[in-house]
Chains A and B, each alone.
Chain A
Amino acid sequence: MGATRADAAGGPGLRSARRRVSAALFRRSWLRATLLLSAPGAWFLLIYLAALAILFVSAFWRVDSFTGDIVHDWNLDNFKTIVESPTYRTIAFRTIGIAAAVTITDALLAIPFAYFAARLAPKRLQTVLFVIVLVPLWTSYLVRVYAWRLILAHDGILNWTLHKLGFGGVDIAYSNWAMWVVFSYLWLPFMILPVWVAFERVPASFLEASADLGARGWTTFRRVLLPMVLPGIVAGSIFTFSLTLGDFITPTLVGGASSDFIGNVVYGSVGIANNVPFAAAFATIPLLVMGVYLLVARRMGAFEAL
Chain B
Amino acid sequence: MDSSGTRISRAALAVWSALIVLFLMFPILLIALYAFNSSNVQSWPLEGLSTKWFSSTFHDEAMREALWLSVRAGLLATTIAIVLGSMAAFAVHRFRFFGRETISFLLVLPLALPGIITGMALNSFFTWGTVNFSLTTIVIGHATFCIVTVYNNALARLRRTQTSLVEASMDLGADGWQTFRHVTLPVVATALVAGGLLAFALSFDEVVVTTFTAGAQNTLPLWIFGNIRLGHDLPQTNVVVLFVIVVTIVPVTLAQRLTRDTGVLRVGGGGKSGGRADASTHVAVAAEPAP
Give A contacts to B, CB under 8 Å: 1-4, 6-7, 18-19, 21-23, 25-26, 29-30, 32-33, 36-37, 39-41, 43-44, 47-52, 54-55, 58, 109-110, 112-113, 115-121, 127, 129-144, 146-151, 153, 155-157, 160, 185, 188-189, 200-205, 207, 211, 216-217, 238-239, 242, 245-249, 262-263, 266-267, 270, 276, 279-280, 283, 286-287, 290, 293-295, 298, 301, 303-306
**What residues of A have a CB within 8 angstroms of the CB of B117 in the complex?**
52, 55, 246, 266, 283, 286-287
From B120, B241, B291, contact of A139 by CB (8 A) = B241
* A33, A39, A143 interface centre (most CB from chain B within 10 Å): A143
Q: A48-B144, A55-B121 are in contact. List 8 more A-B contacts (CB 8 A).
A: A49-B106, A116-B14, A138-B248, A141-B207, A147-B34, A246-B114, A262-B114, A283-B114
6 tightest A-B contacts by CB?
Answer: A246-B114, A22-B176, A51-B125, A36-B91, A204-B273, A147-B27
Establish whether residues A202 and B43, one from each chain, have CB atoms under 8 Å apart when the complex forms. no
Q: B196 within 8 Å of A by Cβ?
A: no
Give B contacts to A, CB under 8 Å: 1-2, 5-6, 9-10, 13-14, 16-17, 20-21, 23-28, 30-31, 34, 42-45, 83-85, 87-88, 90-91, 94-95, 97, 101, 103-118, 120-122, 124-125, 128, 140, 143-144, 147-148, 152, 155-156, 159, 170, 172-178, 198, 201, 204-205, 207-208, 220-221, 224-225, 228, 237-238, 240-241, 244-245, 248-249, 252-253, 256-257, 271, 273-274, 276-278, 281-282, 285, 291
**How far is it, in angstroms, between the C-alpha of A4 and the C-alpha of B257 when the chains are bound?**
36
Q: Closest CB-CB distance, A306 to chain B, in whole Å?
A: 4
**What residues of A have a CB within 8 angstroms of the CB of B87 in the complex?**
36-37, 39-40
Establish whether residues B5 and A54, one from each chain, have CB atoms under 8 Å apart when the complex forms. no
Task: Report 11 cross-chain contacts, Cβ distance below 8 Å, ordered by A residue.
Answer: A51-B124, A54-B121, A113-B17, A115-B13, A139-B28, A142-B221, A188-B20, A216-B2, A216-B5, A238-B108, A246-B113
**How far is it, in angstroms, between the C-alpha of A52 and the C-alpha of B106 when the chains are bound?**
12
Establish whether residues B31 and A51, one from each chain, have CB atoms under 8 Å apart when the complex forms. no
**What residues of B have a CB within 8 angstroms of the CB of A52 in the complex?**
109, 117-118, 121
Establish whether residues B122 and A204, one from each chain, have CB atoms under 8 Å apart when the complex forms. no
The total of interchain contacts (Cβ-Cβ below 8 angstroms) comes to 306
**What residues of B have a CB within 8 angstroms of the CB of A3 in the complex?**
173
**What residues of B have a CB within 8 angstroms of the CB of A19 in the complex?**
175
* In the complex, residue of chain A having the shortest beta-carbon distance to the beta carbon of B6: A217
**How far is it, in angstroms, between the C-alpha of A118 and the C-alpha of B91 when the chains are bound?**
31
**What residues of B have a CB within 8 angstroms of the CB of A112 in the complex?**
13, 16-17
Q: Closest CB-CB distance, B269 to chain A, in whole Å?
A: 12
**What residues of A have a CB within 8 angstroms of the CB of B121 in the complex?**
48, 51-52, 54-55
From B28, B44, B282, contact of A150 by CB (8 A) = B44
Establish whether residues B16 and A203, one from each chain, have CB atoms under 8 Å apart when the complex forms. no
**What residues of A have a CB within 8 angstroms of the CB of B122 in the complex?**
47-48, 51
**How far is it, in angstroms, between the C-alpha of A263 and the C-alpha of B119 when the chains are bound?**
12
From B23, B90, B116, contact of A266 by CB (8 A) = B116
**How far is it, in angstroms, between the C-alpha of A305 and the C-alpha of B217 when the chains are bound?**
37
**What residues of B have a CB within 8 angstroms of the CB of A156 in the complex?**
44
Given A47-B140, A131-B252, A246-B116: A185 in contact with B23 (beta carbons within 8 A):
yes
Establish whether residues A50 and B125, one from each chain, have CB atoms under 8 Å apart when the complex forms. yes
Q: Closest CB-CB distance, B32 to chain A, in whole Å?
A: 10
Given A29-B95, A116-B17, A217-B9: A127 in contact with B256 (beta carbons within 8 A):
yes
**How far is it, in angstroms, between the C-alpha of A6 and the C-alpha of B43 when the chains are bound?**
67
Establish whether residues A137 and B205, one from each chain, have CB atoms under 8 Å apart when the complex forms. yes
* In the complex, residue of chain A having the shortest beta-carbon distance to the beta carbon of B1: A211
Q: Closest CB-CB distance, A101 to chain B, in whole Å?
A: 17
